[in-house]
Each structure stands twice: as C-alpha cells, then as structure tokens.
C-alpha cells in the first residue's frame, strides 16, 4: 500500500527536472551593491530605473504603456546558495525561505511590481525599483488589480513588521 502511494507521489514530479530560460532584457538602476536598496519597490517611490528589453522581444511590448504597473520576473543574479530557514531583511527571526522574499533561494527568481512611468521603444522607464543594476529580466506581465489584489489577505509573520512604523525599508548586506 505504502509502496503504491510512494510510487504515485514520485510520478507526480515533473518529468523535466531542469528548465532553461533566456533573459529578455536587463535592469538598469543606480544600485551596484546589495545593501542600501529598497527591500520592496513600494518603499522606494522615487527609486528610478529602466528595463531595457532586447530588440528581438520589442514587439511583445505592444500595449504595455496602458498599464501603470507591471510585474517583472527576473534572476537574483548576484545571490549565491540558499538556506531553507533564514532571517529576512524586515526582522531578525527565522522563517522558511518560501515564507519570505529573500534573494537567496533554491531557484533565485525575483518578482517586483514596479510603476511604469513611460515607454520609449524597447526601454521601459520605471520607479519603485528594488533590483540591482544588470539584473537579467525573464518575463514581464501587466499588473491587474482584478487579478492580483486580494482584499483582506492575511500576511502571517509580516503583520507585526507592518504595525511598527519604523520597520526596515532598505536592505543590508545579509544576503
Ligand atoms: C527582498 S528582495 C525583494 C525582491 C522582489 N520584490 C521580490 O519580492 O522577489 C529585494 C532585495 O534583493 C536584493 N537584490 C536586488 N536585485 C538583486 C540581484 N539581481 N541579485 C541579488 N540580490 C538582489 C537587494 O538587496 C534588494 O533590496
């Protein structure tokens, strides 16, 4: 019985165990080192940057300018290794890596909701940027409150952090 259950679990794993992605562009920002960067873009309303999309993907930007915010999915290219339980920037208690937004993760993928100020050809001018200069962009999606907003969502351990008006807003060099 156990054997069958184990086998079933095994079969549910994806058949392809590695995936390759190619960057579609690169982030340009003033941030060259990991410390002193907004922990989330929302803490840096004047934190400017650009997403420079490679020529071959420019046609995919059609109609993006209608959105005030976009979701960028990218590689934390300057992070190395990971711990499954670690201390996030916002407090010193331990949490599981999947319950925090730290850059050191099993798959070092980041996503940021950024404000799209304007588009000039294949360059997107952004604010609310929390990415280092040179960050490789994997994908862009339009931010749509209808899809992405959940009124009343619970925020677990972050609840306390947000109650403290002096909570940390800028990264240190712990990652
Ligand atoms: C806490 S993470 C949050 C990123 C994203 N908004 C998220 O939720 O996935 C933001 C921090 O990651 C670090 N960071 C940004 N870009 C990075 C990169 N390309 N490689 C490594 N660390 C990076 C900076 O220190 C920044 O303050």
Fold of 23-75+105-144: Elongation Factor Tu (Ef-tu); domain 3 (2.40.30)
Give the mean pLDDT per block of 10 residues along the chain (175 residues): 61 84 98 92 94 98 98 97 92 92 96 98 98 98 97 91 72 77
Cα separations in angstroms, 157 against 29, 59, 93, 96, 161: 30, 41, 9, 11, 8
- Ligand 1 atom with the shortest distance to the CA of 34: 25
Token match 């109650």: residue? 163
Quick one: pLDDT at residue 74?
Answer: 98
Query: In this structure, what are the phi and psi dihedrals at residue 142, rounded to the nearest 5 degrees?
Result: -70, 140
Quick one: pLDDT at residue 138?
Answer: 98
Out of 29, 77, 110, give the residue to mutate to test ligand 1, the one with the largest number of ligand atoms within 8 Å of its CB: 110
Quick one: pLDDT at residue 174?
Answer: 72
Q: Is 161 in the pocket of ligand 1 (CB under 6 A)?
A: no
- Sketch the domain layout of the chain as residue ranges: 23-75+105-144
- Ligand 1 atom with the shortest distance to the CA of 35: 25
Q: Is 76 in the pocket of ligand 1 (CB under 6 A)?
A: yes
Q: How many CA atoms lie within 13 A of 91 on its CB side?
A: 15
Quick one: pLDDT at residue 3?
Answer: 56
- Ligand 1 atom with the shortest distance to the CA of 40: 6
Residues in the chain: 175
Quick one: pLDDT at residue 172?
Answer: 80
Q: Is 114 in the pocket of ligand 1 (CB under 6 A)?
A: no
* 10 Cα: distance to centroid of ligand 1 (angstroms): 33
Quick one: pLDDT at residue 148?
Answer: 95
Quick one: pLDDT at residue 13?
Answer: 83
Quick one: pLDDT at residue 14?
Answer: 82
Quick one: pLDDT at residue 147?
Answer: 97
């Amino acid at each position: 019985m156990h054997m069958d259950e184990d086998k079933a679990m095994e079969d549910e794993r994806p058949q392809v165990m590695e995936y390759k992605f190619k960057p579609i562009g690169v982030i340009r920002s003033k941030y060259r080192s990991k410390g002193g960067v907004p922990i989330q873009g929302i803490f840096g309303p004047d934190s400017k940057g650009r997403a420079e999309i490679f020529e071959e993907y420019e046609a995919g930007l059609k109609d993006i300018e209608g959105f005030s915010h976009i979701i960028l999915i990218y590689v934390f290219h300057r992070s190395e290794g990971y711990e499954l339980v670690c201390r996030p920037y916002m407090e010193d208690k331990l949490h599981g890596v999947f319950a925090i937004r730290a850059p050191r993760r099993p798959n070092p993928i980041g996503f940021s909701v950024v404000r799209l100020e304007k588009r000039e050809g294949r360059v997107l001018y952004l604010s609310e940027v929390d990415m280092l200069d040179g960050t490789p962009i994997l994908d862009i999606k339009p931010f749509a409150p209808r899809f992405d907003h959940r009124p009343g969502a619970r925020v677990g351990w972050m609840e306390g952090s947000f109650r403290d008006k002096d909570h940390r807003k800028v990264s240190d060099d712990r990652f």
